């Protein structure tokens, strides 16, 4: 008898012989996806699929799997994404699914190493916080021993504060947004790679981001080669010199293509689709209107800001910019955004202790991975995704 067994590293063929095992009954009684233990000799195989095989001397069922199972991880019977996510631990026995998460782990490992080499220190900031960082509308509220607290939307204010002592910091963590978007690129819990650096301006951090994307994509293609071949895909090439377009130029391009947008309007689905046709892969959109950016972004005059988004086609991968580092201006911007500076007094006082000019960005890791593995849904790249409907498992 033959069996194909898999473990976390791959698959192999096992050959059972009545003479060596005594009885084939335990093998015959094994249900699909059971966890088994085999001892045997490795030998060359005549099989077309396996160069080697294991000739078993001993065989035990460690944990028998129920039959039928809610899904077939060999992939021969397709299952919907919902069924797969409901039964994720079993889904992860599918080599295609496992490959995505090995690629994810490698990417985060590479990003960590590159940022450390660039002189950035890894930090962990609180995820239970007392006030909004990105504007108040999309915060998850919680009861903190009778007081109101929130789940962090981003490490924004903390990473800025840390530049006055550590100068260059990064954080890779989960953040929470109570947005009701139920799209293929939004989650309510997502992973972001965030950096913040003293004495960097907008272009310095754009350069850092481009360098990180180019180098990590290159290394990921190499070191994740086996996993990408399981998926039969390759991450799209990233070459230095991403095109840079001003927000105002984007409006002109759109106008030329028949889409008239008033100045200040955010670039939505149709606009991004047109821009992605013009630019293809990676590109930056810089100098956004102040109205479309959060209060901490440095204004640059004419209603514009020292900000940027990194796009891949129509997908926003990152956003960032230079920050305000003067208390008075920050208070003014808070008021301009309809926020009360007294609610930010704990944060504002740091601006009187020698706060250097600083810039940074937040890079959506799940979105990058979605693009890198060629997935059409962000949920494919997250073990246990959370969206407005899904809170389990």
Contacts to ligand AMO by CB under 6 A: 134, 154, 156, 177, 179, 186-187, 190, 192, 194, 316-321, 360-362, 364, 366-367
Q: Shortest Cβ distance from residue 197 to ligand AMO (Å)?
A: 11
* Least distance to ligand AMO, CB of residue 208, Å: 12
Q: Is 323 a catalytic residue?
A: no
Smaller CB separation from ligand AMO, 31 or 124? 124
Annotated catalytic, 44? no
Look up 319 and say whether it is catalytic. yes
- Asked if 185 is an active-site residue, the reply is yes
| Residue at shortest CB range from ligand AMO | 364
Q: Catalytic pick from 84, 104, 325, 367?
A: 367
Strands 307-312 and 304-305: unpaired
**CA–CA gap between residue 344 and residue 352 (Å, rounded):** 14
Catalytic residue among 118, 167, 179, 189: 179
Instruction: Give me the least distance between CB of 175 and ligand AMO, in Å please.
Output: 7
Q: Which is nearer to ligand AMO, 125 or 319 (CB)?
A: 319
**Which one is catalytic: 154, 192, 216, 319?**
319
3-state secondary structure the chain: CEEEEEECCEEEEEECCHHHHCCCHHHHCCCCCCEEEEEEEEEECCCCCCCEEEEEEEEEEEECCCCCCCCCCCCCCCCCHHHHHHCHHHHCCCHHHHHHHHHHHHHHHHHHHHHHHCCCEECCCCCEECCCCCCCCCCCEEEECCEEEEECCCCHHHHHHHCCCCCEEEEEEEEECCCCCCCCCCCCEEEEEEEEEECCCHHHHHHHHHHHHHHHHHHHHHHCHHHHHHHCCCCCCCCCCCCEEEHHHHHHHHHHCCCCCCCCCCCCHHHHHHHHHHHCCEEEEECCEHHHCCCCECEEECCEECEEEEEECCEEEEEEEEECCCHHHHHHHHHHCCCCHHHHHHHHHHHHCCCCCEEEEEEEHHHHHHHHCCCCCHHHHCCCCCCCCCCCC
Cβ at position 18, least distance to ligand AMO in Å: 55
270 noted as active-site residue: no
Least CB distance from residue 261 to ligand AMO, whole Å?
19
- State the minimum distance, in angstroms, from the CB of residue 126 to ligand AMO: 15
Q: How far is the CB of 299 from ligand AMO (least distance, A)?
A: 15
- Which of these is catalytic: 109, 278, 316, 332? 316
Residue closer to ligand AMO (CB basis): 12 or 154:
154
Active-site residue, 113 included: no
In degrees, rounded to 5, the angle at the alpha carbon of residue 34 between the alpha carbons of residues 32 and 37 is 125
To the query of whether residue 74 is one of the catalytic residues in this protein, the response is no
Given 84, 168, 177, 325, which residue is catalytic? 177
Q: Are 24 and 16 in contact (CB under 8 A)?
A: yes
84, 168, 185, 379: the active-site residue: 185
Catalytic residue list = 177, 179, 185-186, 316, 319, 367
């Amino acid at each position: 008898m033959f069996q194909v067994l898999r473990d976390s590293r791959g698959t192999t063929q096992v050959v059972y012989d009545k003479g060596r095992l005594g009885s084939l009954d335990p093998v015959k009684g094994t249900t699909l996806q059971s966890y088994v233990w085999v001892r045997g000799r490795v030998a060359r195989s005549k099989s077309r699929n396996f160069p080697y095989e294991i000739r078993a001397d001993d065989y035990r069922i460690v944990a028998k799997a129920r039959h039928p199972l809610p899904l077939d991880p060999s992939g021969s019977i397709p299952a919907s994404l919902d069924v797969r996510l409901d039964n994720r631990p079993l889904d992860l026995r599918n080599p295609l699914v496992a490959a995505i998460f090995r690629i994810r782990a490698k990417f985060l490992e590479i990003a960590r190493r590159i940022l450390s080499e660039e002189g950035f220190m890894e930090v962990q900031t609180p995820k239970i916080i007392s006030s909004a960082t990105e504007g108040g509308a999309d915060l998850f509220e919680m009861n903190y021993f009778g007081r109101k607290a929130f789940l962090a939307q981003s490490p924004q204010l903390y990473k800025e504060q840390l530049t006055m002592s550590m100068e260059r910091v990064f954080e890779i963590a989960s953040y929470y947004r109570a947005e009701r978007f139920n799209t293929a690129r939004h989650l309510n819990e997502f992973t972001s790679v965030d950096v913040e650096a003293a004495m960097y301006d907008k272009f310095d951090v754009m350069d850092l981001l481009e360098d990180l994307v180019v180098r990590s994509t290159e290394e990921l293609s190499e070191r994740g080669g086996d996993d990408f071949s399981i998926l039969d895909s390759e991450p799209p090439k990233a070459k230095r010199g991403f095109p840079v377009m001003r927000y105002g130029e984007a409006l002109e391009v759109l106008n030329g293509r028949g889409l008239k947008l008033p100045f200040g309007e955010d670039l939505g689905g149709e606009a991004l689709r047109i821009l992605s046709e013009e630019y293809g892969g990676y590109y930056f959109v810089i100098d956004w209107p102040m109205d479309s950016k959060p209060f901490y972004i440095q204004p640059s005059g004419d209603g514009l800001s020292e900000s940027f988004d990194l796009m891949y086609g129509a997908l926003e991968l990152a956003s960032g910019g230079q920050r305000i580092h003067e208390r008075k201006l920050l208070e003014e911007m808070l008021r301009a955004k309809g926020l009360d500076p007294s609610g930010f007094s704990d944060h504002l006082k740091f601006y009187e202790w020698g706060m250097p000019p600083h810039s940074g960005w937040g890079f959506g890791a799940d979105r990058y991975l979605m693009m890198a593995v060629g997935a059409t849904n962000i949920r494919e790249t997250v073990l246990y995704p959370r969206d407005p409907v899904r809170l389990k498992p």
